[in-house]
A and B are shown apart, each in its own frame.
Chain A
């Protein structure tokens, strides 16, 4: 299956710990996007990355959150010192271009982060 792979599927962290979420895009896709879905809400854009570059992080909280997409390996969304409000589903998407094709993005199955 050449889809977007996210791991872990579920992640439980205590307040103050770090959370690292991984995303491997569709093979051949060089554009990665992270979205967050809070309970009872739609998905909200966080960050857009290309290989080794952050293109747009306007949707990401200024503190505690960071993202990277290294030359080799998956994209990583890192949340330091997690708080209860970080509990959400985090979805990664990839595309071969920096804009939509007729089929939009390909989304992964998400990582459900629970902060206790």
Chain B
């Protein structure tokens, strides 16, 4: 049962433009959401997170938006840079739980 879904397996964007990655979830108990970035042959690296009490969290070029009513979150990267080319995973957790549920990932390619 896939509780976190990333419906776009890939995204290609030109350098300097905005990258928008989407994520949907089905479990209404989820209250903490994270984005991880992963390069080939490496482990996932934490990027940014958001608690369900917020609808936006910003960290430099990265902003995560949460729409609880739609059970949807998105990651915006502005401006996109070649080093952003990676797989991005959306993950979620229920309050007090230590387990993360991951989406299948979106591969971002930033074109020069």
**Residues of chain A whose beta carbon lies under 8 Å from any beta carbon of chain B:** 4, 6, 9, 31, 33, 35, 40-45, 48, 56, 59, 91, 93, 95, 98-100, 102-110
CB pair A48 B99 closer than 8 Å: yes
CB pair B104 A41 closer than 8 Å: yes
Chain B 18-47, CB within 8 Å of chain A: the 1/0 string? 000000000000001010100001111110
User: Would you list which residues of chain B between 65 and 112 have a CB under 8 Å from chain A?
Assistant: 89, 91, 93, 96-105
CB pair B44 A45 closer than 8 Å: no
A107 to B: closest C-beta gap in Å: 4
CB pair A56 B43 closer than 8 Å: no
Q: Total A-B residue pairs with C-beta atoms closer than 8 Å?
A: 69
Residue from B49, B99, B101 in contact with A104 in the complex, judged by beta carbons closer than 8 Å: B49
Chain A positions within 8 Å of B93 at CB level: 100
Known: A4-B43, A100-B32, A107-B43. A43 touches B100 (CB 8 A): yes
> How far apart sit A38 and B64, CA to CA, in the bound complex (Å)?
27
> Could you write out 17 A-B pairs with CB less than 8 Å apart?
A35-B100, A41-B104, A42-B104, A43-B44, A43-B89, A43-B91, A45-B99, A48-B98, A91-B44, A95-B98, A99-B96, A100-B98, A104-B49, A104-B91, A105-B46, A107-B44, A107-B45
B58 to A: closest C-beta gap in Å: 14
**7 tightest A-B contacts by CB?**
A42-B102, A107-B43, A104-B46, A43-B102, A45-B99, A109-B43, A42-B104
CB pair A104 B43 closer than 8 Å: no
B2 to A: closest C-beta gap in Å: 8
> How far apart sit A99 and B101, CA to CA, in the bound complex (Å)?
14
> How far apart sit A5 and B42, CA to CA, in the bound complex (Å)?
11
B59 to A: closest C-beta gap in Å: 10
Closest to B47 in A: A104
> How far apart sit A56 and B99, CA to CA, in the bound complex (Å)?
10
